[in-house]
Amino acid sequence: MKNSEIKELSTKELKERIDSEKELLVRMRLNHAVSPLDNPLKIRDARRNVARMNTELVKRLSTENIKS
């Protein structure tokens, strides 16, 4: 997921996407522990997507606090 796509999401949608990506990441890690994934780089991509979305969420929340 690109940064431009993340910025287009609302805060509520962003929180939902973070939760779903975290669940996907946990499932991929468990599956990889049992039997190797075809492409283990998907784990890295999922982890980075979660980090990008968390960064955007913190950025939005901090700007909301500054405005208040």
**Confidence tier at 67 by pLDDT (50, 70, 90):** confident
Rounded alpha-carbon distances, angstroms, from residue 27 to 2, 13, 23, 32, 64: 22, 21, 6, 8, 33
- Every domain of the chain and the residues it spans: 3-67
Q: Please, how many CA atoms are within 13 Å of residue 55, restricted to the half-sphere of its CB?
A: 10
Fold of 3-67: Helix Hairpins (1.10.287)
Q: Evaluate if residue 68 carries a pLDDT over 80.
A: no
50 in Cβ contact with 18 (< 8 Å) = yes
Give the 3-state secondary structure of residue 40.
coil
DSSP 15: H
**Confidence tier at 66 by pLDDT (50, 70, 90):** confident
Q: What pTM, to 2 d.p., does this model score?
A: 0.88
Query: pLDDT tens-digit profile of 8-60?
Result: 999 999 999 999 999 999 999 999 999 999 999 999 999 999 999 999 999 99
